[in-house]
Structure formats: C-alpha cells, structure tokens
A and B are shown apart, each in its own frame.
Chain A
Amino acid sequence: MERRRFLKFSAVGLVGVSIVPMAANASSNSWQLADRSKDNWTNLGKATKDIPNRKKIVTYDVAVIGGGGAGICAAVAAARNGAKVVLVQDRPMLGGNASSEIRVRLNGVNRLKTGLAERETGIIEEFLLKNRFENPQESYPVWDNILYDFVVSEPNIDLMLNTSAMKSKINGNKIESVKCWQLMTETEFTIKADIFIDCSGDGLMAASAGAEYRTGREGKAEFNEKYAPDKPDGWQMGITSLIWAKDMGKPMPYSPPSYVIKLDLADSHPHRKVKQLEEGFWWLEIGSDDDIIAEYETNRHKVMGYVHGMWDYVKNSGKYPEAANYALEWLATIPGRRESRRFIGDYILSERDLTEHKHFDDAVAYGGWSLDEHNPGGIEDLKEPPSYFHERFAEVYQIPFRSLYSKNISNLLFAGRNVSQTHIALSSSRIIATCSLMGQAVGTAASLCIKHGALPREVGKKHITELQEQIMRDDAFIPKHPAKDPKDLAKKVSVIFASSTKTGNATALTNGFSRDIDGNINHWQSTGIPANVQMEWEEPVNLSKVEIKGDTNVHRNIMMRKDSRDDDHFINHVPEELIKALTLEVRIKGQWKQIGLIENNRTRLAKFSFDSVKTTAIRIKIAETYGKDSAKLFEVRAYS
C-alpha cells in the first residue's frame, strides 16, 4: 500500500514547508505552546542533549478546517479540480456528527411532501455508495475507515487528524495563515493558504479572523419570517448524546451513574415518544441562550446526565416492560452539536427563501429537510414538543453562493451549519447531506479562486456560471439550473438514439437535467440489458473524455442507519439500478472500436478517459447493473 503523507511533507501535495529553529525566538516566545526551550531531554539514541522541534510552517492552495461531511466534500472537490489541499480535523476520525463517536444519521432530503426523497448526488453520494460496497456489516468504526480511505486516496489532499485550528493571522482583510495544534505530535503548525474554508461547525478559525457572525434567533421583523420569535433572542438549538441499546435476550438490570439527572416523562409533550429503544433519543437536548460554545463542557456533562436519566426512566419506572431485556451497548461521550456561530456573507438565507422557493442566479446547492426547529429549552422544557417541524417542503430549495463566503474576510469560504443564514433557515439546512452539498460547492469555488487568481466574491460575480457548470459536471445537482457547459461536445450531436426504450427518451441525455424532477422525465431507460446508446456528430470531433450519469434511484435513501432499514425509502445495500459494467466505442472510418471498459463500477458518474481520438460517433454499451433488468441513464457528456 502506498504510504500517505500525514504531514511527512515529501510528496507533491505540498506547495511549501519550512521548519523554524526554536532557539531563534525561544526567549521571546517562551509562553508559546510550541516553545520547548526548557526541555531537558537526553536522547540516548544519539547520545546528545536535545531540544525537540515542535513548530512547522506549511503552505497550500486551499486549507479546509473541519472533517465532517461538508469539509470532506470541500476538500475533495477542491483537490479534484486541481488545488493542493490540507484538510484539518480536530478529532481522530473523519465524519463529524456522522462519525462513529457521535453517530448522527447522515440525513438529507429524505422525504418531501410528495412522500419521496430527492437524494443528494456528487461527492456525498460517492462515499455513501463506497460504504454500501465495503461495509455491508454496517459497522460505524468501519464507516470511519471508509471516509478515511476516501480522503487519503485523493493525491492532492494532505490530511491532518487530531489537529485543531486555533487562531488566524490576518493581513488586511485576508487570512494569511492559521495556527494549529496537533495533539498527538505536540506540534504547532502554521498553515498558509490562498483560500481558507471553515467547515468546522463552530468556526473558531473564521471567528478569530474577525469574520462577522451572529448567534441566536432573529426576530420576525428582520427577515419577515413567519416562524421566528417576535423579538430576537439568544436561543440556539442544543447538543445531544445518542445511545444504542441491544436486546440481550434475557432481563438486564440497569443502575444509573452518579451524574444521572432524573427524568419523569409522565406529563411531557406527547411527541416525546419512547419507541426507539435501540437508537437513542434525538430530543435529549441541551441548548443555550447565550455563549453555547463556552458552555459546551457544562452542557455535555448535563446532557449525559439526562441520557442516563432517560434510560433509568425506561428501565426502572415500570412503564416500559418491553425494555426489560435491553441494555446499553454504546453511549456517545461527545455530543453532537446543532447550532452555534452563523457567519455573515453577502447574502443571508432566510425562511422565505426556502418556503417560497426563491430562484437564485448564483444557486450552488439545495436542501429540503423540513423546518425542523427544536424547542427552546430542549429537554428542560418537557411540555413543549421536541421540534416544531414548522413546515415540510413539496420541492427542494436553492442555496446561493453568496451565503457561502464571508462578507468581510475576503479569502474565507464556509460550508455547513455555520453559513450565512437565519436561525429558521438553519433549522432545515443544518442537515448533513445538505451541508455536504455546500461543501462540494465551496471546494469547487476555491479551486476556481486558485485557477483565476481570484477571491470568492469575484468568483461569484465573474465566474459563477463556470462554478455551477463544474459542480454539475461533478454530479451534484442544482435545482432549476440546467447544465449548459459550452465545452460539452455532446450538446452538439446531430443524432442520439437507443437500442430500445422502455421509458423516457435518449434525446433527454443532453438536456442538462441529471434527474427526473419537477414533473419532467429526463432519462432514457432501456427495455432490457444489454442496451446501448449511440450519439453522432456531423463533423468529426476530437474526444478524450466521455462522462455518463446513470441511476442510483435518488428517490431512495442510502445512508447507514442503526435499524438497517431496507424498504423503498431506505436501502441497506448497493442500489440495484447502479450500472456495473459498460463499454465505450468510437467509430473510426466506419468501424466501431472499443476504447473504454468499466467493470465493477461503483459510482453514478462513470468516467471514460482515453487518448484523444478523432471520431464521428460514440456508442455506450451497458452490459450489467447491480440487479435491475434494464439500464437507465440521465446524462452523457463528451469532452475533447
């Protein structure tokens, strides 16, 4: 196995690195974390008295802070589009709230009012599918490893785990560098980059740079929000510690720990139901109306007390005899967070943008989870429902690029729950898969910043079409923005036809919509397999890439769940619609020649890359799916 560079700094990913001699500034910085001038180290191996070097400076094109869904997608998008990237994560694993130590479901647009999902594609789908292939046992620690493998297999990314981004250094209105502390190596890193992306949720890096932010709830008047309180207040949705329980097949005793906080649900709101014994209680939540970050340790202790209080109530109140055989098998000791800082961008996304489905010319992502605003007070206000679920959406809403970069720090982008939005908008967009779409968008934007030597705002003003087209080419979806990539030669074909058609039409494969949506059919489906699609140009074209978007059934969810649901809403296996094997042929001098073969395909977006050929026609032959007896495609692109 190829060794990765966990800051070994020997390979291509690194733009520059230097090691600063500690002695040079030891006296003036003796109180600095990295100062080790007082060390009294006898190194027996070298037979010397030594001073350890614990201070390093590294340089990248793009620095991504936070390794949850948004950060992973941001880093991978930027890296795949050519930027040298460092991904900094303060935990020992990737995944953020969805990691094995927190285990929040990776929800997205799971279910609209129509009753169906409008699932996210692109990078987020890639690693969810990878999980279905490589983790059929549905193990959370293995899921961590899936994400790890997904990131480290990108040659343009360096991954720094156990590393906290502590403090930004500003030059004018730009972040020049970020000081990080890497726990396990006792090392202070200074990361220099052209573009910084804060996907950390709490956003310490962005906050310390002076980026404007707010916390709490906006009053109704500010954005004309129906569900906002009359007056602004400081309330932020809280943290939750999940638990898993297991049926042991025999009665299991339970004794609560010393820090238990007793609970009695007798008079609680009827929506606080005790019915998911195995998966914990998402509504065991402690929020704050002030400085929720500063209160984290206090609240963590408290919410863990409530978790045990709840389990004590279930096990020992006598009201849940069905719980007699259940025992706790896992408890999150690091609660998942829902809300804290929201940074201010050139646009603040608000409730009506979502409920009225505002069309943004600079849309780069979408959401569709309900307006799921949890109650003020959390578990300490049992009379209220755990969430108001103000409104569900009939269709997805757009998220504009202007909400994803800082208003006052010029080289700062963000993605996730900390973006520029109101508390009510956050109640929907905070969901992990939605945050991941934002991540792919800002990662792609960062790569364009590097390519054009531009800052995010300039990308939004001058290169927004290029940004949107690249996002869609990489298989993320932007509602009501059909792809019109001028470089896509498939748009110029004279003829498209298929060997057979069960539903849809082969001509839909170049219409710019990569899913069936808004009541329109945008696919071609064959009557059987094998099946083929042929495209022909009147004038010969030079081709070196053909990219095909198949089907994974975006109306069904594929994320891992404790209950391992396998029905028509959720599946616990590889989608049967996914194309497994396909070939690409080009016609040269009247003869078909195979130039590409993909076997064991694992992604919706199948890419053929080959030495440039001059041709007048291509033929895509679909040989096999993962179970479906017909092939369905949504898009075919061709590039020189």
Chain B
Amino acid sequence: MNHIKTLLITVLISLLCSCFMESTENRLEDDFVINHAVTFEHRGSKTNKPQKGNLFQVAAISNKKINANGLLIKGAQDAFYMDVVSVFCGEDVCRIDPVRLYWNELGRYQRFALKPKVTLEKGNGEGFESEDYIKLQKVLRNLNSGLGEYYKDELINTKGSANTVDALSGATVAMLKTDYIEGAVWTCYTLWHFANQELPHIIRNITGEQYTLSELQNIIQNGELEYKLFAIEQLTRRHFIDEHSIELVIKQSQIKNRMLDLAIIDYVEQLPTQPYYESMLDIIAEKNSSLHLLALTSLLNTENTIPANFYGTLSDQVVSFDSYQNIRLLQTIIKNKKVSNNEIISSFITLLQHDNFVIARSVYWFLAEQKLSPQQNELMNTFYQKNNHKL
C-alpha cells in the first residue's frame, strides 16, 4: 500500500514540476503579445521606489478563445504575464532567479513558470524540493495569506535568539506555516506581492480599458459574479453614470453578495446628488437588508444637500424593513439631520404594530420625542397601556 502511495506522489510531483518548467520560445505562433510598460509598488523592494516592468498581454491565441475584439474571452488563464525576480533578498545572501508569473484578464494570479534548468533556492543555499514548488503555488494562490499583512522590515527579527535571520530560516516569522515555505520566506514574500498586490489592479484596469461601455453593461447583466464585480468597478473608475448603467448596477442588489453590495455603494456614492438619492431609494426598495445598512450608513455620513421630500419617501419604505438595526439607523439619520415631519411620523407609527416587539418598542421611544397629532398620541397611549411592563 505504501509503495502505491509513494508512486502516486512521485508521479504527481513530476507532473506538477513539468508545468512549472517552460521555455519562453515555445509560445504558439499566432499569439499576439502586447507589451505594457508599467510602474507599480512592491513592499519588498529595497529601494522603496516604484518598480518598473513589462507586463505582457496575450491578445489572441491559437485555440481561438477570443472575443469580438480579439481579446481573450473570460476564463482564459494566461492573459497576462511578467518576468520578475524570485526574491528581493532581505539580507543580500540570496540567489536571484527569474520567474514568470501568469494572471487571467481579471488580474487573478494563475501560475508561475521557470526557464529550463532554472531552479529556486532557499536562503540556506539548498534548492527547492518538489514539494516546495507545489507549496509555492498554493502560497501564491492564497489571497488571504498572512504575507499580505507584513512590511519587509517586519520579516526580520533582529532580536531573535537564533543566530540565523529569517531570510534564511524563517524560524521566527509569526505566520501560519501554510503561508510560507520554511527557509524561503523572502521568496514567498517577494513573489506573493508581485502576484497579488498592485499588479492585479493594473491588469484589471488594462482589461477594463479594452471593454466598451456596452460590453461592460453586458457583463453586468449576464456575467458571473467575479465579472460583475469587475464591470461595476470599471464603470465606477471610468465614471460611466448613464441611466442604463445605473439601472443595471442597482439591479445587482438582488443578488445579495457582500462584495457586490460594497461595489454597488462605491458606484452610487460617486454619482451626482440627484441620481445618488434616487439610487438610494431604489436600493432601499430592494429586499437586501445588508445593502440597506450600507446605504443608510452612506446617507448618515453624506454631506450632499438633502432634497426636501427625500426622507419622507425613504421613511415610506421603513415598513418593509426586517432589520431592527436598519430601523434604528434610519431613526438616527432623521434625528441627526433634524428632518422629522408628519409624513415620516405617519410611516413610523404603523410600526407600533410590528410583529417584532423590539422594533415596535424602539419606534415607540423614537416617536415619544416627536411632535404628534392627537390621533397619533392616542395610538401611542394604547401601545403604552398594552406594553408598559415591557418598556
């Protein structure tokens, strides 16, 4: 049984390593490569100056997975690549090797490749083992890696009891061991920041520039989640604020995804005042309480001039709220902005009958501070008589 297991592991490692080895000369003939000269930040840089590099975009490939504009269609993995150094060595004792990194058109890191006969080295002079290459791929694919939390100076422990430094041993780096390869912390750190920090944003924007407005709208309407996020982000960046775009973006609130909700609010917050408030009302009309929270927080903090009838219309929607926190937040907005009126009170007073008593009680105390009509006071008295023991 152990023999079979060993054999399987050996075969797997061989296959994976062959994926990492690649000649730059054997790309397919009909690939069309665009060279983008880019400038970007890298936390590992010893000079602390922006880095300059050539980011290559593969604009067409032989398998014809291209769209009408000659760009790779979504899902094509090697849309961009860059040749980078394996390590900005922290202690000047590392060997630097060239490594090619690949991203898809959304800037998501895909894989790395090495030229034939190039192998990566650990800080202590030992070469990477087969398992290390496999782990490096996992490390670089992890968007939530602890490597993203550190600045380069924090990786070196000058007070460690060991005589070695982290560049060599990795022994005193306080990260999950899944986040780095022991003995190769600097390599992991350097490559991870190339793969996952500023370059992905640059790639997204290059790709975004190559889509037309109608293509972006089409992606929002028909694309998968990560493409919707990308397209909304590009609409925001390029300041596309036409009516159709706004409508499409607001409609995405039905999906109820946290990342999408944040992208929607970012988009709406850069709209001019009138479409901003109108969009907020549209958002509130959708049944998405976590997006409601973001929208109400935005309204609480906005410095835009308030349209006269806005809060009355907003309060009309309050009966449909199912979140106590959002109802409390709306009360805070009305109180802070001093915009209470009879229309608002009329909307709130219906909530005295709310099935959720905690909500009804908060409305009671909110209304107790408002100027009420005799009829409204009567409703308040009835509520008080019935619930006095629970107030």
Contact = CB atoms under 8 A, between A and B. Distances in A.
A616 B160 contact: no
A569 B172 contact: yes
Q: Number of contact residues on B: which range applies? A: 20 to 34
B391 interface: yes
B76 interface: no
Interface string B283-300: 000000000000001000
Interface string A579-596: 000000001011100000
Nearest to A562: B161
21 contacts: A113-B177, A114-B177, A116-B174, A275-B163, A495-B325, A536-B358, A539-B390, A555-B174, A556-B174, A564-B159, A565-B157, A566-B159, A567-B157, A567-B172, A567-B174, A568-B174, A569-B172, A587-B365, A589-B391, A590-B368, A616-B390
B157 to A, nearest CB: 5
B288 to A, nearest CB: 16
Contacts of A516: none
B319 interface: no
B227 interface: no
A495 to B, nearest CB: 5
Contacts of B310: none
B56 interface: no
Contacts of A279: 161
A275 B162 contact: yes
B358 A565 contact: no
Contacts of A568: 154, 173-175
7 smallest CB-CB distances across A and B, nearest first, come from: A590-B365, A568-B174, A497-B325, A115-B177, A569-B174, A567-B157, A494-B358
B390 A276 contact: no
Given A564-B159, A590-B365, 13 more contacts: A115-B176, A276-B161, A494-B358, A538-B357, A538-B358, A565-B161, A567-B154, A567-B160, A567-B172, A568-B154, A569-B172, A590-B369, A590-B391
B204 interface: no
A229 interface: no
Interface residues of A, number: 30
B174 A563 contact: no
B186 interface: no
A142 B365 CA distance: 54
A540 interface: yes
Interface in A486-501: 494-495, 497, 500
A589 B369 CA distance: 12
B361 interface: yes
B364 interface: yes
Given A495-B324, A616-B390, A115 B175 contact: yes
Interface of B: 154, 157, 159-163, 172-177, 297, 324-325, 328, 357-358, 361, 364-365, 368-369, 389-391
Which of A115, A536, A540, A569 has most B Cβ within 10 Å? A115
Contact of B159 (A115, A275, A494, A567): A567
A565 B174 contact: no
Contacts of B159: 563-567
Contacts of B391: 540, 589-590, 616
Nearest to A279: B161
A539 B361 CA distance: 11
A590 B357 CA distance: 14
Interface in A184-223: none
Contacts of B324: 495, 497, 536
A115 B178 CA distance: 9
Contacts of A616: 361, 390-391
B160 A565 contact: yes
A63 B368 CA distance: 59
A564 B159 CA distance: 8
Contact of A495 (B157, B160, B358, B368): B358
Nearest to A572: B159
Contacts of B365: 587, 589-591
A538 B389 CA distance: 11
A536 B323 CA distance: 13
A393 B29 CA distance: 53
B183 to A, nearest CB: 14
Interface string A3-40: 00000000000000000000000000000000000000
B134 to A, nearest CB: 19
A569 B162 CA distance: 14
Contacts of A534: 328
Contacts of A276: 161
Please indicate which of the listed interface residues A556, A568, A591 has the most CB atoms of chain B within 10 Å of its own CB: A568
A116 B173 CA distance: 10
A114 B176 contact: yes
A597 B50 CA distance: 47
Interface in A238-259: none
Contacts of A590: 364-365, 368-369, 391
Nearest to A539: B390
Contacts of B368: 590
A495 B328 CA distance: 12
Nearest to A540: B390
A28 to B, nearest CB: 59
Interface in A544-570: 555-556, 563-569
A569 to B, nearest CB: 5
Nearest to A496: B325
Interface in A28-67: none
Nearest to A276: B161
Contacts of A591: 365
A497 B368 CA distance: 23
Interface in A336-352: none
Contacts of A567: 154, 157, 159-160, 172, 174
Q: Which of B161, B390, B391 has the most CB of A within 10 A?
A: B161
A540 B157 CA distance: 54
Contacts of B154: 567-568
A591 B365 CA distance: 8
Contacts of A494: 358
Interface in A265-301: 275-276, 279
B50 to A, nearest CB: 26
B160 to A, nearest CB: 7
Contacts of A589: 365, 391
A115 B174 contact: yes
A259 B177 CA distance: 46
B294 to A, nearest CB: 11
B176 A116 contact: yes
A425 B177 CA distance: 26
Interface string A96-121: 00000000000000000111100000
A321 to B, nearest CB: 14
Contacts of A539: 390
A495 B326 CA distance: 12
